[in-house]
Amino acid sequence: MEHPKILLIEDDEDIREGVRILLESENYRVAEAGNGRDGLKLLDQDTDLVILDVMLPGISGLRTCEEIRKTSFVPILFLTAKAQESDRLIGLMVGGDDYLPKPFSYAELLGRVKALLRRYRIYQGKEGQEQTEGRRLELAGIEIEEEFHEVLVRGRQVELSEIEYQILLLMMKHPGKIFSAQNLYESVWQEPYFYSCNSTVMVHIRRLRVKIERNPQAPELIKTVWGKGYRFEGYGK
């Protein structure tokens, strides 16, 4: 099996070298860029993960993320010196999947990388997974073909990120069940939940609603149950 390929976009040469050495010691293939424009040129179909600094010369990491999302749903892990909650939310809103503030430990970085890669490669069918051939889930105008990870919303195919897909699949398999932010985070991200993770879940729910709801401001399918969490309404139209 071919080793995962990671695109590292970071303008600090010392950080870039340290992260590259760490990743290569784990047998990952690494492509490097010191700015967003060069990084976009290196992005290809073999890329399994992008590690992206927010503060870059030229186009910012946020803008680079937006450009990546025009053509790819590859997971994006932001690295940044900005650790405020508002900065984290902005990164997630433009399409990031996770966020690691500087300074970070190599152990923490490696843990995030492995978690993102594991989910994405299973999502892409690059690693073994439970047999799902022929399994089709239909509910409330949404159809999910699990074998190919295809989603149709009222007959129209929509493109979801890996995390958006996993959230929708989990909730559709349990219509009417209230999922707390902790339930969703630990089930989908498969990492320990902390209070700050609530905002991460909220942003991904918001992005998912934009893609599947007739009116994301008045959702009919993924309802907020105030003080408790979120629920998929199986009878929604």
Looking at the chain, the whole-number percentage of residues with pLDDT higher than 90 is: 57
- Can you tell me which residue has the tokens 């991904």? 204
pTM of the model: 0.68
Q: What pLDDT is attached to residue 237?
A: 47
Mean pLDDT (whole number) for 86-93: 75
Q: Tell me, yes or no, whether 30 and 75 share the same domain.
A: yes
Question: Across the chain, what does the average pLDDT equal?
Answer: 87
φ, ψ of residue 28 to 5 degrees: the values are -85, 145
Examine residue 219 and state whether it is found in any structural domain, yes or no: yes
- Do 173 and 227 belong together in one domain? yes
Note the pLDDT tens digit of each residue in 118-168.
Answer: 878 766 655 544 444 457 889 999 999 887 788 999 999 998 888 899 999
Q: Give the pLDDT confidence of 43-55 residue by residue, as tens digits.
A: 999 999 999 999 8
Residue labelled with tokens 């990671």: 6
Residues 6+ apart with CB under 8 A from 30: 5, 6, 7, 8, 20, 23, 24
End position of a domain, from candidates 60, 91, 123: 123
For residue 200, give its domain range: 136-232
User: Is 101 in the same domain as 143?
Assistant: no
Distance CA 12, CA 56 (A): 9
Q: Is the pLDDT at 31 greater than 90, yes or no? A: yes
Name the percent of the chain in helix, strand, coil, to the closest 5: 40, 20, 40
Q: Where is pLDDT greater, at 196 or 128? A: 196
Structurally, the chain folds into a number of domains equal to 2
Q: Looking at residue 2, what is its pLDDT?
A: 78
**Within a domain: 197:** yes
Is 237 contained in some domain? no
User: pLDDT confidence of 1, banded at 50, 70, 90?
Assistant: low
Please report the pLDDT score of residue 213 as a whole number: 95
Residue 27 has pLDDT above 80, yes or no: yes
- Decide which of 123, 149, 174 is a domain's last residue: 123
- pLDDT score of 134: 52
Task: Give yes or no: residues 20 and 111 share one domain.
Answer: yes
Helices (H), 44-105: 61-69, 85-93
Residue 86 has pLDDT above 60, yes or no: yes
Last residue of a domain, one of 102, 123, 144: 123
The CATH number of the domain holding residue 213 is 1.10.10.10
Do 101 and 165 lie in one domain? The reply is no
Kindly state whether residues 141 and 119 are assigned to the same domain.
no
pLDDT digits (tens, 9 = 90+) for 52-78: 999 899 999 999 999 999 999 899 999
Task: Specify the pLDDT at position 122.
Answer: 67
**115 plus 152 within the same structural domain:** no
Peptide bond before residue 103 is cis, with ω within 30 degrees of 0: yes
